[in-house]
Amino acid sequence: MDQAYTKQKVKELRAMVSEGDRVAIVLQDDPDPDAMASAMALRTLLGRNKQTTPLFSFKPVTRPENRTMVHLLEIDIAPATTEELAEYDKIAMVDVQPPFFGERLTRADIVIDHHPNYEPSDVPFMDVRTRYGSTATIMTEYLISADEHISERLATALLYGIRSDTLALSRRVTDDDLQAFVTLYPIANYNMLKQIERPELPAEFAKVLSRALARMEVVDGLAVINLGPVVRDDVIVQVADFCLQFEGVEWVAVAGKLGRDLVISVRNYGMSGDNAGEVVKNLFGDIGSAGGHRNMAKAVIKQTAWRRREGSTRDRFIEERLRELFLAEISGERKSNGESSRAASRG
């Protein structure tokens, strides 16, 4: 940890916010543990509370483990609207950057994140560390550098944020992530962590999973399933996570219709330079919100936008078209990565 640099960032951050400012912390749609933990840490760092600095998201938390985290750690996240956020003096974003929101939110005063692939933004305070495995690591460094007390509740949230975004310290882990983890470990409540990590699954998940597996076929290491209409998008995510465990599966793309949206969850093992976030962004960035990490990514597309580009929203068509799109993009990315590697070796 570069403590001198982080201390300077803390000083700049605190100078951004006056005592009388109303501050809103905005999280990505369907906030994940890293985002929620980082928001809690930012509020602590600014010496604020739920009333003076509320948390907002345009779409609610849906995944069972994340909902359990919200309940056990008493995290309040209000539904965001463009009109309400415009009334706040300062807008802060953690684990996300302004381009994600498009026209819903066109300004930000504070951005702290670790995600790559965003275009540069004109934000007064910005700290983006793309080599870090989680934003919670950055926030833990802030708290340590500021000699701020880290409560059991906050440590539990931050530790789970780091664990979830690094797949239990198995993905994109740096020495900084490990140092933050070691610092938080003795403070966190492990009984509570166990409850968060093993939430109850909805009964409908068994039926959805059964139908999905009966149809699943693996082509060149890729498994594609369209679940059709679903009532919660966490079901899509859980099917994707589950399918990645099967022999011969290197990539998974699971789609489902949630209201007027087509939601696509993507997983891979990150082998041979494969990047799920880049693949999803290349395939769907022109018609929806798309992006993510090397090993996991997501796209949310209006069904009308899909229909305009692809011609049909019939379930079988969507499944077949997704298979075509992903097979072409993945093979293209691997070829490109291979050529880059050979060029580097020749250099």
Say if residue 241 is in the same domain as residue 314: yes
47-65 residue pLDDT tens: 999 999 999 999 999 877 8
In this structure, what CATH number is given to the domain that contains residue 255? 3.10.310.30
Q: Which of 174, 197, 220 is the last residue of a domain?
A: 197
Say if residue 60 is in the same domain as residue 133: yes
Q: Of 301, 5, 238, 23, which is closest to residue 127 (Cα–Cα)?
A: 5
Whether 122 is in a domain gets the answer yes
Total count of domains within the chain: 2
* Per-residue model confidence (pLDDT) at position 321: 96
Q: Of 74, 41, 72, 75, which is closest to residue 57 (Cα–Cα)?
A: 75
Whether 308 is in a domain gets the answer yes
* Per-residue model confidence (pLDDT) at position 172: 73
| Residue 57 lies in domain | 3-197
- Residue, of 131 and 293, whose pLDDT is higher: 131
* Per-residue model confidence (pLDDT) at position 336: 54
Whether 113 is in a domain gets the answer yes
Say if residue 189 is in the same domain as residue 310: no
Whether 347 is in a domain gets the answer no
**Across the strands, what pairs with 256?**
263
Whole-prediction pTM:
0.68
Instruction: Indicate whether 343 pLDDT > 60.
Output: no
- Residue, of 34 and 211, whose pLDDT is higher: 34
Extended beta strands in the chain, E state: 23-27, 55-57, 77-79, 90-94, 110-113, 125-128, 218-219, 222-229, 251-258, 261-268, 288-292, 296-302
